[in-house]
Structure 1
Amino acid sequence: MLIGYARTSTTEQEAGLQAQQRDLGAAGCEKVYAEHVSSVAPRAQLKLAVEFVREGDTLVVTKVDRLARSTVGLWDIVRELDAKGVGLRVLNLGGETVDTRSATGRLILNIFAGFAQFEREMMLERQREGIAKAKSEGKYKGRKPTARAKADDVRALHREGKTPTEIAKALGIGRGSVYRALETPAAGAPS
C-alpha cells in the first residue's frame, strides 16, 4: 500500500499543500497524511503516517524537504521505516522518482539529502548576514513586542479576576507574557 505525506510550513501555503496532495494521489497513494507545520516542530501527521504503515507498504513524499531538513533527520526516518519493513519513495528528486528499496535509490537519496541540507544552511547563513547588515544600518528592529503593548490590557483583565490562562487566550499572547506584564509596574506607577 502507498501512503502519502504532505507538509507545508505555514497555512499561507495552502496551494502548495493541495499540489502535494494531488501529486500523491496521482502516484497511487491510498491514504494521505497532510499538515501545516515547520519541519523542526513536532509533526503529528508524520508520526501517524509512520505508525500506520505496515510491512510491505511504502511512504511517499513529493520532495525530500517535505520530510526532513537534515540528512541525519532523513535517515532517522528511513531507519524507522526500515525496521517496519517499509520503503520510502520520493517523487521529485532531481526530476526522478527515488525508492529506498534499492541500493541505487538509497545512494541518490543520500546525495540529494546532503544537497538539500547544504542549501538550507546556505539560505540561513545569507539570512543571518542580511539581518546583521540591516541592524548595522539601523534598518532592522525585529518584530514588535506585541505582548508588552498589551500589558495594560493584561493588568485590566487581571483586576477583573481573569486567570493568566484566560488572559493569554483573550489577548492572543503566551502565559509567560501575562506573568511578565503582571510583574512589571504600569507606566507612571510608583516603583
Structure 2
Amino acid sequence: MLVGYMRVSKADGSQATDLQRDALVEAGVDPEQLYEDQASGKRDDRPGLDACLRALRAGDTLIVWKLDRLGRNLTHLVETVNKLNARGVGFKVLTGQGASIDTATANGRLMFAFFAALAEFERELIVERTQAGLASARARGRHGGRPFKMTAAKLRLAQAAMGKPETKVAELCAELGITRQTLYRHVTPDGQIRPDGERLLSRRNKTA
C-alpha cells in the first residue's frame, strides 16, 4: 500500500498542501491514506507524521513530495528512513533534491546511502566542533562554579554532545556552566532542540 505524508510550515492558512496532495494522488496514493501536518519541520510534535509512521506496515511505501517534508534535518531523515527499512517499509521521494530516492530500487538505495554518508559526515564535524569548544572552555578555567544562562553557542554545543551516547550529562553541564535543569529545558536527551531552545535561537537571529 502507498501512504503519503504532506507538510506545510505555517498553520495560518497562508500555505496549502494542494500541490503536494495532487502530486501524491497522481503517484497512486489513495486520498484516504494521506497524512499531513501544519508545522515547522524543526518541531518535534508533528501528530500527522506520528500517525503516519504508526499506520505503516511491512510492504507499504511512504511517499513524500520533497525530501524536506519529512525530516527535521539530515540526521533525523536518515534515522527515520532506516527505521522504516528495518520494518520492511519502502520510501520514495517524488521531486526536488531527493527525487532519485526510492528504496525499492537499487539506484534509490544507493542514493539514500549517499545521504546517510553525508549525515555521518555532518555528525563528525559537529563532534569535532564540540570537542574544540569544550577544550577551549577548559583552557579558560571553566570547570563549573556558578551556573550561567544558556546561550545560542552553548545550545549548539549541547545539542551536538547530547546526540552522542558517550556524553556524560554532569560533565557537559559543568563544562558549559549550566544546570542539568537548564540543559534539559533546551535540549532533549538525544540532542533535539526543545521549544525553549528554538525560542532562544529565534531571539538570537532577530538581533543578529
Give the TM-score normalised by structure 1: 0.54
Give the deviation of 1:109 after TM superposition.
Answer: 3.3
Amino acid at match of 1:7: R
Q: What is residue 24 of structure 2 aligned with on the other side? A: 24
Give the deviation of 1:62 after TM superposition.
Answer: 0.5
Q: 1:68 to 1:96 in 2, by over 3 A?
A: closer
Q: What is residue 11 of structure 1 aligned with on the other side? A: 11
- What are the Cα deviations for residues 135-184 of structure 1, in whole angstroms up to 9, with x where unaligned? xxxxxxxxxxxxxxxxxxxxxxxxxxxxxxxxxxxxxxxxxxxxxxxxxx
Give the deviation of 1:101 after TM superposition.
Answer: 2.4
- What are the Cα deviations for residues 31-80 of structure 1, in whole angstroms up to 9, with x where unaligned? 10011011121111111111101110000000000001322111111122
Give the deviation of 1:15 after TM superposition.
Answer: 4.8
Q: What CA distance in whole angstroms lies between the structure 2 residues aligned with 1:82 and 1:75?
A: 10
Q: Could you say what the CA RMSD is over the residues aligned between the two structures, in angstroms?
A: 2.4
The count of corresponding residues between Structure 1 and Structure 2 is: 116
Q: 1:68 to 1:95 in 2, by over 3 A?
A: closer
Secondary structure of the 2:94 match is strand
Q: In the alignment, is residue 77 of structure 1 matched against residue 62 of structure 2?
A: no
User: Alignment identity in percent?
Assistant: 37
Q: What is residue 86 of structure 1 aligned with on the other side? A: 89
Moved more, 102-111 or 1-10: 102-111
Amino acid at match of 1:75: V
Paired residues of 1:93 and 1:112 also in contact (CA < 8 A):
no
Give the deviation of 1:104 after TM superposition.
Answer: 2.1
Q: What CA distance in whole angstroms lies between the structure 1 residues aligned with 2:101 and 2:29?
A: 15
Secondary structure of the 1:40 match is coil
Paired residues of 1:71 and 1:110 also in contact (CA < 8 A):
no
Q: What is residue 35 of structure 1 aligned with on the other side? A: 37
Q: What is residue 145 of structure 2 aligned with on the other side? A: none
After the TM superposition, list the runs of 4 or more consecutive aligned residues in structure 1 that deviate by more than 6 angstroms.
Answer: none
Paired residues of 2:100 and 2:107 also in contact (CA < 8 A):
no
Amino acid at match of 2:73: S
Give the deviation of 1:105 after TM superposition.
Answer: 0.9
Structure holding more strand per residue: 1
Moved more, 65-74 or 101-110: 101-110
Unaligned runs of 5+ in 2: 123-208
Secondary structure of the 1:88 match is strand
Q: In the alignment, is residue 52 of structure 1 matched against residue 55 of structure 2?
A: yes
Q: What CA distance in whole angstroms lies between the structure 2 residues aligned with 1:64 and 1:55?
A: 21
Paired residues of 2:5 and 2:35 also in contact (CA < 8 A):
yes
Q: What CA distance in whole angstroms lies between the structure 2 residues aligned with 1:52 and 1:29?
A: 14
Q: What is residue 126 of structure 2 aligned with on the other side? A: none
- What are the Cα deviations for residues 72-131 of structure 1, in whole angstroms up to 9, with x where unaligned? 11111112211221000000144845201234213323546859xx9xxxxxxxxxxxxx
Q: What CA distance in whole angstroms lies between the structure 2 residues aligned with 1:69 and 1:94?
A: 15
Amino acid at match of 2:62: L
1:140-159 to 2 correspondences below 5 Å: none
Larger radius of gyration: 1
Match of 1:99 among 97, 102, 112: 102
Q: What is residue 67 of structure 1 aligned with on the other side? A: 70
Amino acid at match of 1:88: F
Give the deviation of 1:16 after TM superposition.
Answer: 4.2
